[in-house]
Structure 1
Amino acid sequence: MTGAAVGATVRRRRLRSGVGVTALVIVALLLGYLVVVGVLRSRTLMLPAPTGPHPVGRTITTVAAGGGTEDGARRATWVWYPADSRSADTAPPAEYVPDGWFGPGSLPPAVGLGWLLQDVDAVRSWARRDAAPASGRHPVVVLAPGYENAPWMYSTLGEELASRGVVVAVLVPPTTPARVVDGHPRTTAASSTPPTPAEIDLLLQQEAADMVALHDTLVAATDGTLAGSLDTDRTVFGGHSLGGGAAVLACELAPRCAGSINMDGPQPALPAGAPTRPALLLASDHSCAAVTPCTEQGQSPGYVDWLSRRRTAAPPSTIATITGAGHNAFGDPVHYFVAPPLGGLSGTGSIAPQRMHAVLTAVLHSTVSQLLGGDAGQDARELPELELVPAGG
């Protein structure tokens, strides 16, 4: 073998050795990354503590669906409420995700791989399961979740408002992939594509009917955990995303509705055009549901145009935007761990989680209090992240 051949052989061996070492380093780094992610996603995550004077109870029940559904249709409902302090001291903690409630589609679908996300079994909230309610009669907010979102994603909102004396009843629509109805698990396959505007309108109509039926059940309740504890003479309807649009429509259909809060959702088609009751559209500062032009990614031009036309045709009383918020920040996902580099895909925006929670709960409490004629406390308009924009903007 010539010297040149020997040199070439040595170089090839060194190259293979270098490639092998590089591969081992990459594998070691990947394994280390997965170990670190596994530890971080499984650490106990304590959600923000409610700031109001009341301890919080939570119960899960089932009510009849609205009109136009199949015979015997029922809807699960999660309810957070101000609890009696002595009962709350002895009642067990409410599981963040009870048995039967977790399944495919239970996390914001934009995030992606489940093993890079928060382990929801490690999330802890503050409510006490089926604690006795606090004395007196308490105002009610009927809330609806976003499309394919789970009710436990709104625990921080429910607990905060309940701690301030408000009962929050969250409707669980059939678009929630995993749910329990009358003690029986139900599952619905998560959609691989977002609904079209025509499909959204049908979902809005059904969800609004279900919200009104839920409110009617609360009005008529004579037994159960909260019987005699509800002041349903005037109620606020609210919701996130699809649920926000349904809340606006439900408010038009419910005689006792004082007003609605639409969190980053489309405005519905209304019989009278614009809402006849006070309506707040609360959204991200770049949300296509609230502002034009917008900078949200992943939405087709046709859908963006539809959102804009709906906002113009059914303008809310007030549009307020939260700077730095993302669509998925209107609830618990803003607090979840998301492994890098997927953080930017979580849809929660750039705002700090604690700040988002503080701004959102201040706006909701202030709005609910004003709609119901109570003491609003902090004026949400003083929050620097909150900006009022023209209803047609």
Structure 2
Amino acid sequence: MTTSSRRAALSALLTLGLSAPLLGATAVSPAHGRRTPTRGTYASGPALPLPAGPYPVGRRVLHLVDRHRADPWVPAAGNRELMVSVSYPVRAIGGAPAAYMTVDEARLLLAARGLSGIVPAATVAGTRTHAHVSASPAPGRFPLVLLSPGFSMPRSTLTALADELAGRGYVVASVDHAYESVGTEFPGGRILTCAACEQVDTPAEEAAAVRGRAADLSFVIDELTSHRRGGVLSRMIDPRRIGIVGHSIGGAAAAATMSADHRVRAGVDLDGDFFVHPAGAGLGRRPFMMIGADSTHSPDSDDTDWPEAWSHLNGWRRWLTVTGAEHFSFTDLPYLADQLGLSDPAVPLSGVRGWSITRDYVTAFFDLHLRDMPQPILDGPTAGHPEVVFRDRV
């Protein structure tokens, strides 16, 4: 990927320009082929997919403070803060349903996309999840998987994946990196917005952002696996089985975390370039999977650093592209867009299909590498997933 094209791509995401879709679509008018919804049309509200695993899902929200680091974006704010939603398997359904996001977080997300007054913030915030607040954990010890969202995106955009993994018997920590989202609510009603979006421009700044996230994610591992600080959650986690997955720059952070922290055994990059060079280096023989949109991450693309990363992956590896996908196809957003009348007709892959592919390949990857369960779906193309192209195999 050239410096200029890489910078242009990241800039589009950081500024949330109208060319980068939210909820899977841009705010176009009906004349462009998409229905513009109106207030009052969401009687039941959107809902996330029901997790397929055998466990009900619990949710706890943690406010973590790293007292050994200052915030890199707003040093005057003091110590680095993170909001973390932990999804986990529970004994039985109990407790109030977990919220998708707060109304203020939804309002800021919609405003950044020019959708204020078109989609009510309360509708997005009220998206039905299938997790329950502080439900009693299931007995046993489970693998831990960390999730890092795209730059400017809140952690809630990976909720369906978090709850799916939890229902299958994983403890999942979804991380909001302070000042890297259009809006994240912290204790006391503080709303932190994307100060980082105004500060990342050069390749060196991009790489610094990725390394900062890697430090965040290692700190989350420290906290969750500490019996003193992690509490009941630490007793659920098997610290020998830790994985990581991220979307967009979160995918870069997944690789950077693995490079810096050998506690992480396996990682997945969902449609994100690496930004740190040499891309993909430092993982040793630990497994890593890259899955992205065919239009941007095929081997003949000039605008991706995946070929460089591929050359440095020395263990089990997969490079998969999805025909008809776009950048957000690997998140909740298109799935919700379908329900809100915001689907983009220019994106061939439906939100439901994008979710199904993401679910099937990510869960198979972790079942194989954190549970030693054979997964034929990862061995090559299948009739049930014709959109998924295996670019190479080892």
| Distance change (3 Å), C-alpha of 1:156 and 1:272 | closer
Give 1:84 deviation, angstroms. Answer: 1.5
The residue number in structure 1 matching 2:205 is 199
The residue number in structure 1 matching 2:372 is 374
Provide the rounded CA distance (Å) in 1 between the counterparts of 2:151 and 2:60: 22
The residue number in structure 2 matching 1:334 is 334
**Structure 1, residues 138-166: CA drift from partner, whole Å, max 9, x if none?**
10101101001111111110111110001
Query: Please, which of 89, 97, 100 is the counterpart of residue 101 of structure 2?
Result: 97
Q: Secondary structure in 2 aligned to 1:46?
A: coil
The question of whether the paired residues in 2 share the 8 Å contact of 1:281 and 1:319 is answered with yes
Provide the rounded CA distance (Å) in 1 between the counterparts of 2:280 and 2:291: 22
The residue number in structure 2 matching 1:51 is 52
Structure 2 unaligned regions, length at least 5: 1-29, 72-77
The residue number in structure 1 matching 2:172 is 168
Matches within 5 A, 1:1-393: 37-40=38-41, 43-65=44-66, 68-70=69-71, 71-85=78-92, 88=93, 90-98=94-102, 101-104=105-108, 106=109, 112-117=114-119, 119-174=123-178, 175-189=180-194, 191=197, 195-222=201-228, 223-267=230-274, 268-270=276-278, 273=281, 275-276=283-284, 277-287=286-296, 290-294=297-301, 305=303, 307=305, 310-311=308-309, 314=312, 317-337=317-337, 343-344=344-345, 349-376=347-374, 379-380=377-378, 381=380, 382=382, 383-390=385-392
Give 1:305 deviation, angstroms. Answer: 4.2
| Distance change (3 Å), C-alpha of 1:101 and 1:232 | farther
Provide the rounded CA distance (Å) in 1 between the counterparts of 2:91 and 2:342: 44
**Structure 1, residues 284-312: CA drift from partner, whole Å, max 9, x if none?**
1112xx22444xxxxxxxxx646367546
| Distance change (3 Å), C-alpha of 1:219 and 1:35 | closer
Identity %: 24
Give 1:183 deviation, angstroms. Answer: 4.4
Provide the rounded CA distance (Å) in 2 between the counterparts of 1:58 and 1:124: 13
Structure 1 unaligned regions, length at least 5: 1-28, 295-303
**Structure 1, residues 99-131: CA drift from partner, whole Å, max 9, x if none?**
653342x2596x543344574034111110111
**Structure 1, residues 326-385: CA drift from partner, whole Å, max 9, x if none?**
11111110112377787257xxx3212222211111101110111114325562443322
**Structure 1, residues 33-87: CA drift from partner, whole Å, max 9, x if none?**
99953344665112111111000111110223496534522211111111111xx
The residue number in structure 1 matching 2:14 is none
Root-mean-square deviation (Å): 3.2
Provide the rounded CA distance (Å) in 2 between the counterparts of 1:228 and 1:247: 24
The question of whether the paired residues in 2 share the 8 Å contact of 1:362 and 1:378 is answered with no
| Distance change (3 Å), C-alpha of 1:275 and 1:34 | closer
The question of whether the paired residues in 1 share the 8 Å contact of 2:147 and 2:172 is answered with yes
Provide the rounded CA distance (Å) in 1 between the counterparts of 2:95 and 2:211: 38
Q: Which amino acid aligns with 2:292?
A: A
Provide the rounded CA distance (Å) in 2 between the counterparts of 1:78 and 1:48: 18
| Distance change (3 Å), C-alpha of 1:221 and 1:344 | farther
Q: Secondary structure in 2 aligned to 1:362?
A: helix
Count of residue pairs brought into register by the alignment:
343
The residue number in structure 1 matching 2:20 is none
| Distance change (3 Å), C-alpha of 1:108 and 1:376 | farther
The question of whether the paired residues in 1 share the 8 Å contact of 2:130 and 2:163 is answered with yes
TM-score (norm 2): 0.77
The question of whether the paired residues in 2 share the 8 Å contact of 1:67 and 1:209 is answered with no
TM-score (norm 1): 0.77
Provide the rounded CA distance (Å) in 2 between the counterparts of 1:171 and 1:36: 31
Provide the rounded CA distance (Å) in 2 between the counterparts of 1:305 and 1:36: 35
Q: Which amino acid aligns with 2:355?
A: H
| 225-234 vs 252-261, which moves further | 225-234
